[in-house]
């Protein structure tokens, strides 16, 4: 379903989630929301080695993962440390929990808001998209991205506004932006991530086996 351009470092893990009801009707459990705390007990823990390996992955195409363009996993760590990381919806909460504790950036998008074909590769110079409801734009030049028929729509920094989940979402695509420098870590993150969703009654299907 997703074609991958050659990349020496990328260890992408991808899966689809099918929710029995729209996300607006499926609140996250208190146990899942509790895992949004940086010191919550978790099977994976981030550290400086993980953070540097992720940044090296994103630098490969010439992107500079720092400042406002730092990996999403680093943003989550800061937000959790400031006690500003809160529940959004079941799909995003599970994504944020696993990204926070694994240290790996993760994209989760509404699959029904994309248009086939899907491909992962490095964005060309000048590529950009709107990443929030306020209309702010991120420069994607040199950054690993998911592309659909309309262009880039997700990456390890900020996902596109046009493919984000809503209260009506029933199918999501999750991409764990792992690196070969952290062998097995992305697969471990996927296993935990899918288990969290399945505990809430969702069905998951791997695309990276």
Tell me, what's the pLDDT at 1? 87
Tell me, what's the pLDDT at 164? 98
Tell me, what's the pLDDT at 208? 66
Q: Are 136 and 185 in contact (CB under 8 A)?
A: no
Residue-wise pLDDT tens digits, 6-17: 999 999 999 999
pTM of the model: 0.97
Flag residues of the chain having pLDDT under 70: 208-209
Closest of 35, 150, 30 to residue 96, by C-alpha: 35
Tell me, what's the pLDDT at 209? 56
Tell me, what's the pLDDT at 27? 96
Mean of the per-residue pLDDT values for the chain?
97
What structural domains and CATH numbers belong to the chain? 2-206 (3.50.40.10)
Q: Are 99 and 80 in contact (CB under 8 A)?
A: no
Residue-wise pLDDT tens digits, 159-192: 999 999 999 999 999 999 999 999 999 999 999 9
Pairing of strands 151-155, 144-148: antiparallel
Tell me, what's the pLDDT at 143? 98
- Return the percentage of the chain with pLDDT > 90, whole number: 99
């Amino acid at each position: 379903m997703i074609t991958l351009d050659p990349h020496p470092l990328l260890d992408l893990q991808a899966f689809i989630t099918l929710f029995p009801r729209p996300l607006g009707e499926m609140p996250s459990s208190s146990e899942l929301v509790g895992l949004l705390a940086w010191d919550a007990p978790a099977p994976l823990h981030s550290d400086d080695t993980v953070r540097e390996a992720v940044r090296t992955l994103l630098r490969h195409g010439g992107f500079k993962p720092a400042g406002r363009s730092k990996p999403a996993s680093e943003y989550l760590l800061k937000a959790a440390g400031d006690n500003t990381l809160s529940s959004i919806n079941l799909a995003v909460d599970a994504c944020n929990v696993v990204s926070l504790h694994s240290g790996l950036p993760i994209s989760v998008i509404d699959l029904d808001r994309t248009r086939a074909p899907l491909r992962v590769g490095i964005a060309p110079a000048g590529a950009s998209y709107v990443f929030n409801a306020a209309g702010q734009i991120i420069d994607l030049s040199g950054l690993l991205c998911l592309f659909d028929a309309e262009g880039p729509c997700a990456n390890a920094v900020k996902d596109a506004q046009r493919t984000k989940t809503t209260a009506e979402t029933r199918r999501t695509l999750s991409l764990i932006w792992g690196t070969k420098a952290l062998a097995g870590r992305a697969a471990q993150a996927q296993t935990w991530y899918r288990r969290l969703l399945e505990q809430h009654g969702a069905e998951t299907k791997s695309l990276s086996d």
